[in-house]
Amino acid sequence: MSKKLFVGSLPWAVNDEGLKQAFTPYGKVVSATVVVDRRSGRSKGFGFVEMENDSEAKAAIEALNGSELNGRNIVVNEAKPKEKE
């Protein structure tokens, strides 16, 4: 079963493909999405990566959380379900 990860503190220049490339060494990336502002089209500085399974997701979290991507230290952890308001 795939595992969704939250990725924060992304550099503005990182796009979906760049995010995918950063996670690919740790396993199969099902999807990689940088969240963008609808009006401006600019990155909001975070995104989500879906890894194929738990062990690959854990490896990516251990390797990438706190690591540098394009000059910024990124935050990687398990995505939590969106809370209902």
Distance between CA atoms of residues 31 and 42, nearest Å:
19
CATH superfamily of 3-78: RRM (RNA recognition motif) domain (3.30.70.330)
Boundaries of every domain in the chain: 3-78
pLDDT of 31 > 80? The answer is: yes
- Residue 23 reports pLDDT greater than 80: yes
Segments in the chain forming alpha helices (H): 16-23, 54-64
Q: Are strands 3-8 and 75-78 parallel, antiparallel or unpaired?
A: antiparallel
Cross-strand bridge partners of residue 32: 49
Per-residue model confidence as pLDDT tens digits over 36-52: 999 999 999 999 999 99
Q: What is the pLDDT of residue 81?
A: 82
How far separated are the first and last CA of the chain, in Å rounded?
A: 27
Give residue 9's identity as a one-letter amino acid code: S
- Over residues 13-22, the mean pLDDT reads 97
Specify the pTM: 0.93
The owner of tokens 């199969």 is: 28
